[in-house]
Structure 1
Amino acid sequence: MKPETKTILVILTVFSMMLSGCIETASDSIEDNDMGDEIDDTPLPNCELNNSCFEPEQQLVVVPHSDGCDNINPIHCMLPFPSDVFLVDDETKETGKRIHYSPTSLPGSGSKSMIEIPLINQMDGFSTSTQIMTAFSTSPDLEMAANQNNIMPSMDVQHQTLLVNLENGDLIEHWVELDARAEDGEQVILHIRTIKHLEYNTEYGVLIHGLSDDSGEMIQPSEALTAIINGDTTDSTDIE
């Protein structure tokens, strides 16, 4: 064999090895890519199919807010009344609570925009014979509600107003009436009146539900109360 032929064969052999090496590398790369592109046949959980695996972001409910107010009823700062919103902890009191009205809580008069009554803020709770009241923008129909001539309906759990002793669950007899001074079309105060004073150092709860107005339309709760019922978060620090 001529020297030139040996040289050519050697060069061809070297190139063949190099090409073979390149081909193997390319083949490995293709196989790796094929493995990476393999489809996972594992079925998705049902919650991933309908997005229920993830809790939706809770929306912040914007409600009317005034400093020093209850903010449940936008008609008046201090409604519903009485309310534990205006109670603060006080270990020096027998009840462990003390009334606290801020300067913006009490309604102003013709001569003063803000009224402070320090004596009230020293009391250890509300009177056991206090007026229980709230207000509505339309007049509720109380035809089926307990009245001063027949209070027994108030002891039925289906009654439109319930007054409950929160310590033992007892229902408290009462009757319901509207402020007789209200004019047609005006906001009206609803009173819940008991036949005897309530127990001292005891918590009570009031439930009002299923009321309709004179036209038969159901009276809806305020935005703030609706948020509380639905468990929504509001932008009001007093409610939260």
Structure 2
Amino acid sequence: MNERAKSRIAILLVTCMLLSGCTGDTDIEEPISEDIPGCMDENAENYNPDATVSDRSCVYAEPEPEGPDVNLDSKSEFCDDVNPHHCMLPFPAPAFLVQDETTMTGYRIDISGEAIPDSGSVESGAFHMLNRLDGYSPSTQIFTTFDVVPDISGLAGHNSIGNSLSDNHEGSID
């Protein structure tokens, strides 16, 4: 092989080595875009404070359904008007408490005779057995009535009270 051929091969090899770096590199990072898509509404649940371009992905909380209007102000001097079925329901209720500085709790039960159902043979008087107490017992049973019979199939009962601690316990009546 002559000198000229060796030179050409050497130049060709050097050129190939230099050009091999120009075939592409996957490690080169793309320039970082200035735009950050996201929800830009501060009132949305998925608000992104770093977003610079709105991508219309904002999610909003559903408003809580409004419950029935409950008026806790009694329209009479001796009834609790929360439950329209009976004067004294629900029981116990704060409607039957009055402030009393002489008691330990600062309250006293005050149920007038007009709130107590009469037996028909005699008119009811003041409920003096309860009126002397400074509040309801923590173990007082809660009484009330409903327009329709509630479905209590998902509620924990006295024989299954442990169910009230489970994550899927319904906990309320419909």
Q: What is the deviation of 1:113?
A: 3.7
Aligned partner letter, 1:72: V
Task: Give the RMSD, CA atoms, in angstroms.
Answer: 2.7
Runs of 4+ in 1 over 2 A off after TM superposition: 63-67, 112-115, 152-161
Instruction: Kindly indicate which of the two structures has a greater share of residues assigned to strand.
Output: 1
The question of whether the paired residues in 2 share the 8 Å contact of 1:64 and 1:74 is answered with no
Q: 2:146 aligns with which of 124, 136, 139?
A: 136
Matched letter for residue 71 of structure 1: D
TM-score, L = length of structure 1: 0.38
Q: How far, CA to CA, are the matches of 1:148 and 1:157 in structure 2?
A: 18
Q: Percent identity?
A: 43
Which residue in 1 is equivalent to 2:106?
A: 96
Q: CA deviation at 1:138?
A: 1.4
Deviation at 1:112, TM superposition (A): 2.5
Unaligned ranges ≥5, structure 2: 1-70
Measured after TM superposition, the shift of residue 109 of structure 1 is 1.2
Query: Does the residue aligned with 1:94 lie in a helix, a strand or coil?
Result: coil
Q: Describe the shift of the 1:84–1:210 C-alpha distance in structure 2 as closer, same or farther (beyond 3 A).
A: same
Equivalent positions of 1:52-131 (< 5 A) are 65-131=75-141
In structure 1, runs of 5+ residues without a counterpart are 1-60, 162-208, 212-240
Cα shift at 1:133 = 1.9
Secondary structure of the residue aligned to 2:131 is: helix
Work out whether residues 99 and 108 of structure 2, in 8 Å CA contact, stay in contact via their aligned partners in 1: yes
Distance 1:144 1:122, change over 3 A: same
Query: In the TM superposition, what is the alpha-carbon distance from 1:150 to its structure 2 partner?
Result: 1.4
Code of the aligned partner of 1:143: S
Aligned residues: 103
